[in-house]
Amino acid sequence: MIVLIIVASILLASISIIQFKNEAKEYHQERLERKENAVREHINYVLSTTTYPLTTENLDLIFKDKIHELAHIHNIEINIYSLNGQLLKSSKESFSVDKVSPPIPKYILKLVRSSIEKRYVDIKTINGVKNRSSFTQIKDDKFKPLGVLNLPYLEDDGFYDKELNSFLIRLGQVYSFMLLVAFALAYFLSSYITKSLKTISDRLYETSLNQKNKKIVLEASSKEINLLISAYNRMVDELEISAVKLAQSEREEAWREMAKQVAHEIKNPLTPMRLTVQSFQRRFDPADPNIKQKMNDYSETLIQQIDTMNAVASAFSNFASMPAQQNETLNVVEVVELTLDIFNEEQIVFESESPEIISKIDRTQLIRIITNLVKNAIQSIPEQQENKTVHVTVKKVDQKVLILVKDNGIGIKAADTGRIFEPKFTTKSSGMGLGLGIIKNIIENYKGTITFESEYGTGTTFTVSLPIINS
């Protein structure tokens, strides 16, 4: 709309300028013709009343006194030339006839003689001003040529230029007002049209697989937008069905994998228990003098395997049902330091940039995070290694508390880095590999993150980032 108005204003202004110029050209052309006809009639009258013979040589005498009168009456400069182009008489006050006066160019004389009306208008532009000059033959009463009448005419376009400027100013004012109206109409019209699109855009931005998405209840003025709304509402229904199926499938897959892992871990101790019972059954002898020692060995073996099965069941139970968060306002630095005291390991080094970092968090779950990371760090260092170090650092960055656990153990192989947080993955000879999966779940419940950097053969650094929650 705005572009059309601008283009229309430019076209109208251009056409107006061309029209004004054409009108000015026609006006000057017609005005010169009128003056020329009037002067010729007056000259014919002078020729018909003169007492001098009508010859070219006598034109100077005939119009000696009359030429100034003619110029004054008709308000135009008058020049009379001979048939060969020499100036005979002029109405210019300071003009004197002599041999130096420029004659009429030969091509103009030729054009005058060859034209039907015995007339020619020469147009020249001097210093940006257009000059017209008409040349017409003067004839006697018998239509015999006596000389050439020249009427110089200077075009004065001041009036038309003034009118054109006034018109363009008024045109600019009108179109400026129209442009402002167009801006307003375009704004409100586009806002009205895109209002429903904005609603759809906002809903699309808010649409997520992990939440209940609302449908768009809107009746738009456009058929196409109504089709788009219908398509979005249909997509929401399909997305909800897909989300339910996906969640169910993920839960089933997770429990299948967990069941396989638990069954595998339970079978591990059952095999040695079965072999121990069978061996004891074959070799049992009540009269054996070492029967008590064998009974003790047999019992310890069974108890050890039973403890292993109990640990499997406890770990699975802890992972399957996390306790509810009991958030309390506490000093994270103090809790971490007290947690490290239970290890009684000389290689553990604690450091904090500040003695106090206050946040609202579950104390038990924070202790669980620290315990698991420090325990893994200790177990990652080979027993035969002389220099053992586990460095724990607590610091505050922006509105987050960072807990770093760094060890100089064996590190993590590059092939295993993508599986560290998998529930059933472990690099140790014992255990289910549920520890890191459990604490990752705890940290993500607090909208935090856990990352690690490791170099195999050098050590590993785990970084826990938890947002500081104020009470």
Q: What is the CATH number of the domain that holds 128?
A: 3.30.450.20
- At 110-127, the pLDDT tens digits run 888 888 888 888 888 777
Number of structural domains found in the chain: 3
Give the Cα separation of 215 and 234 in Å (integer): 9
Whether 144 and 8 map to the same domain: the answer is yes
Taking 70 as the threshold, does the pLDDT of residue 152 lie above it?
yes
Q: Tell me the β-bridge partners of 147.
A: 138
In this model, does residue 443 exceed pLDDT 70?
Answer: yes
Same domain, 150 and 244: no
Domain membership of residue 13 (yes or no) is yes
Answer whether residue 193 is part of any domain: no
The predicted structure's pLDDT at residue 236 = 81
Longest Cα pair distance anywhere in the chain, in angstroms?
A: 186
Adjacency order of strands within the sheet including 459-467: 348-352, 390-397, 400-407, 459-467, 449-455
Question: Rounded to 5, what percent of the chain is helix, strand, coil?
Answer: 55, 20, 30
- pTM for the model stands at 0.38
DSSP β-bridge partners for residue 330: 359
Say whether pLDDT at 430 is over 50: no
DSSP secondary structure letter of residue 103: P
24, pLDDT greater than 80? no
> 């050098």: which residue's tokens?
458
CA distance 21 to 157: 9
pLDDT of residue 308: 66
Domain termination site, one of 115, 135, 161: 161
CA dist., res. 237 & res. 207, Å (int): 12
Model confidence over 305-334: pLDDT tens digits? 677 677 666 666 655 555 556 788 899 999
Q: How far apart are CA 445 and CA 107, in angstroms?
A: 104
* 448 inside domain: yes
Residues 239-261, buried b or exposed e (16+ Cβ, 10 A)? eeeebeeeeeeeeeeeeeebeeb
From residue 457, alpha-carbon distances to 346, 379, 380, 385, 388 in Å are 22, 14, 10, 12, 13
Phi and psi torsions of 341, nearest 5°: -65, -25
Q: Confidence class of residue 268 from pLDDT cuts 50, 70 and 90?
A: low
Element (H, E) at 105: none
Q: Tell whether 269 and 409 lie within a shared domain.
A: no
Interval 156-164 mean pLDDT? 71
Same domain membership, residue 114 and residue 15: yes
DSSP 359: E
Is 343 within a domain? yes
* Of the residues 285, 305, 320, the one at which a domain ends: 320
Percent of the chain whose pLDDT exceeds 90: 8
| Average of per-residue pLDDT across 219-238 | 77
Task: Give the domain extent around 436.
Answer: 327-467
Tell me: the pLDDT tens digits for 138-149? 888 788 888 888
Which of 263, 287, 320 marks a domain boundary?
320
In a domain, 281, yes or no: yes
Domain of 400, CATH number, reads 3.30.565.10
| Per-residue model confidence as pLDDT tens digits over 378-412 | 888 888 888 889 999 999 998 899 999 999 988 88
Dist CA 123 CA 106 (whole Å): 16
Residue 265's pLDDT is 63
**Percent of the chain surpassing pLDDT 70:** 83
**Both 18 and 152 in a single domain?**
yes
Say whether both 74 and 138 belong to one domain. Answer: yes
Least confident among 81-95, 252-266, 427-441: 427-441
One domain, residues 53 and 112: yes
Name the β-bridge partners of 129.
126
- Residue 360 and residue 306 in one domain: no
Are residues 7 and 147 both part of a single domain? Answer: yes
> Closest Cα to residue 401, out of 333, 327, 451?
333
For residue 315, the model assigns a pLDDT of 63
What pLDDT is stored for residue 323 in this prediction?
Answer: 53
Confidence (pLDDT) at 431: 42
